Amino acid sequence: MTNSIKVLNDKCSGCGMCASACPFGAISMTERPEHAKKFKLAVMDLNKCTYCGTCVQTCKFSAIELKKDTPRSAVDKSLYNGVLVYAEQRHGEIANVVYELLNEGKRLANKLGASLAAVLIGDNIKSKSQDLINRGADKVYVCDDPVFIEFQDDPYTAILTQLIEKERPEIILMGATNIGRSFASRVAARIHTGLTADCISLEIDNETRNLQQTRPAFGGNIMATILTPDHRPQMATVRHKVFKGAKVEERRKGEIIDFKFDFQTLINRTKFLGFIKDTSVAVNIDDADIIVAGGRGVGKAEGFKLLKELADILGGAVGASRAAVDSEWVPYSHQIGQTGKTVVPKVYIACGISGQIQHTVGMSSSDIIIAINKDASCSMMQIATYALEGDMYEILPSMIREIKSVSRSD
């Protein structure tokens, strides 16, 4: 059932009180020449109506009928237990964010007095299960079949939904990666629960067992803590490098469970054509110890060749602000910030980046920040460990020459 509202023509007197009372301007009065008393008729604009019910309360003739969705009853939370981590993998390699989720998931599970589980979906992937156990998982559900050889939204959503409905975990954690962002919301919609994206902090309320999910809001200007008090599971996606990775415990014992799923329910509306690797990334930006990043101040796509030259001789990676990506100077895979990646390198060199909060939330935890900018008053220069005022096209070549000369002397 969906919300519905309608005017009962035989009861409407055309007084106009509902139109005057509507706070959204969703009601207008139209002529009704066929009416014996020439009454007007109230007409609803459903594109403006929010179904607030003000018009219903105002109408003295009961001429407006409003039907609202019946709220979904709260679930029996006692039926849900444990923490489940989605162990994202691509081509047989477990994503590093998974180990961070296992570390945090173990802490949350201990506070709840519950177990920590992981779910591994892929083809010929079972051999990776022990790695997850060594990192803290008490049990690993394995969904191993050729149909899962490449990530696709429909089959992955269906299988994870089946597992959740059967095992009923209390908390589900996923990486805020391209894959995690792609289908976490689909899963949440299927199981009728809430989802908090891009969390930077997770905590347990000991009295209610509610997961306190904290994420940046309003462009990173405030931190919002979000709860899912009436439904289970509680779902959150977490950015890479927000938490420390779990340490390896060799020969740790755990249970590996082959999850039996119903293939008849799997519907796939897309066809996988092929995987094209981004050859512009020599060093994975997620794991780089040194990042040379450029923003709007770089001025042109050719400027990133200079950044890449510096990154290459330092053994680092090239990053970018959203402005540089939107200008098509560099691919999205290099984007750092609220709508890109979160990085924690040892050295972050920001060239022509003003330091808007949307960018700094993705790199402010860097050990050393070196800012190069003509504007000494910009935010990036203020938070930098070392601020170099000037033209990057003069400063970077000097840096490159100096580094090369030191390398040759060594």
What percentage of the chain carries pLDDT values higher than 90?
67
What are the phi and psi torsion angles at 47 (to 5°)?
A: -75, -20
Decide if pLDDT at 9 tops 60: yes
DSSP codes joined into one string, 286-301: TT-SEEEEE-GGG-ST
- Taking a C-beta distance cutoff of 8 angstroms, is the pair 359, 337 a contact? yes
Neighbours of 112 (CB within 10 A): 18
Decide if pLDDT at 280 tops 70: no
- Which is nearest to 163 in space by CA: 269, 258, 270, 267? 258
Confidence of residue 236 (pLDDT cuts 50, 70, 90): very high
> Taken in order 205, 210, 213, 214, is the CA torsion positive or negative?
negative
Between CA 74 and CA 200, with CA 78 as vertex, the angle to 5 degrees is 80
- Which is nearest to 234 in space by CA: 293, 191, 291? 191
- Amino acid letter for position 366: S
pLDDT of residue 2: 66
pLDDT of residue 279: 65
- Taking a C-beta distance cutoff of 8 angstroms, is the pair 44, 27 a contact? yes
User: What's the length of the chain?
Assistant: 410
The DSSP output letter for 336 is B
Tokens of 15: 């007084």
Q: What pTM value is reported for the model?
A: 0.70
Question: In angstroms, rounded to a whole number, what is the distance separating the alpha carbons of residues 5 and 408?
Answer: 78
- Taking a C-beta distance cutoff of 8 angstroms, is the pair 43, 29 a contact? yes
Decide if pLDDT at 90 tops 70: yes
Neighbours of 206 (CB within 10 A): 9
Confidence of residue 382 (pLDDT cuts 50, 70, 90): very high
Once rounded to an integer, what is the mean pLDDT over residues 24-35?
Answer: 88
Domains and CATH numbers, the chain: 4-67 (3.30.70.3270), 77-265 (3.40.50.620), 290-409 (3.40.50.1220)
Decide if pLDDT at 1 tops 60: no
Mean pLDDT (the chain, rounded) = 90
Once rounded to an integer, what is the mean pLDDT over residues 99-104?
Answer: 97
| Start-end of H helices in 27-87 | 54-58
pLDDT of residue 265: 72
pLDDT of residue 135: 96
Once rounded to an integer, what is the mean pLDDT over residues 109-132?
Answer: 95
91: left (phi over 0), alpha (psi -120 to 50) or beta: left
Decide if pLDDT at 398 tops 60: yes
Once rounded to an integer, what is the mean pLDDT over residues 392-398?
Answer: 94
Q: What's the Cα-to-Cα distance from 88 to each of 51, 177, 302, rounded to whole Å?
A: 41, 9, 35
Decide if pLDDT at 190 tops 60: yes
Question: In angstroms, rounded to a whole number, what is the distance separating the alpha carbons of residues 105 and 155?
Answer: 25
Q: Which residue has the higher pLDDT, 284 or 26?
A: 26
Query: What's the distance, Cα to Cα, between the start and end of the chain in Å?
Result: 74
Tokens of 313: 């001789």
Tokens of 217: 């809001």
pLDDT of residue 172: 98
pLDDT of residue 35: 79
Question: In angstroms, rounded to a whole number, what is the distance separating the alpha carbons of residues 155 and 379?
Answer: 45
Q: What's the Cα-to-Cα distance from 132 to each of 113, 166, 248, 257, rounded to whole Å?
A: 20, 21, 9, 13
Confidence of residue 368 (pLDDT cuts 50, 70, 90): very high
Question: In angstroms, rounded to a whole number, what is the distance separating the alpha carbons of residues 38 and 32?
Answer: 6
- Taking a C-beta distance cutoff of 8 angstroms, is the pair 191, 160 a contact? no
Question: In angstroms, rounded to a whole number, what is the distance separating the alpha carbons of residues 156 and 185?
Answer: 12
Once rounded to an integer, what is the mean pLDDT over residues 295-305?
Answer: 94
Neighbours of 219 (CB within 10 A): 11
Decide if pLDDT at 366 tops 70: yes
Question: In angstroms, rounded to a whole number, what is the distance separating the alpha carbons of residues 79 and 76?
Answer: 6
pLDDT of residue 72: 60
Q: What's the Cα-to-Cα distance from 13 to each of 23, 34, 313, rounded to whole Å?
A: 21, 13, 81
- Whether the upstream peptide bond of residue 146 has omega within 30° of 0, thus cis, is no
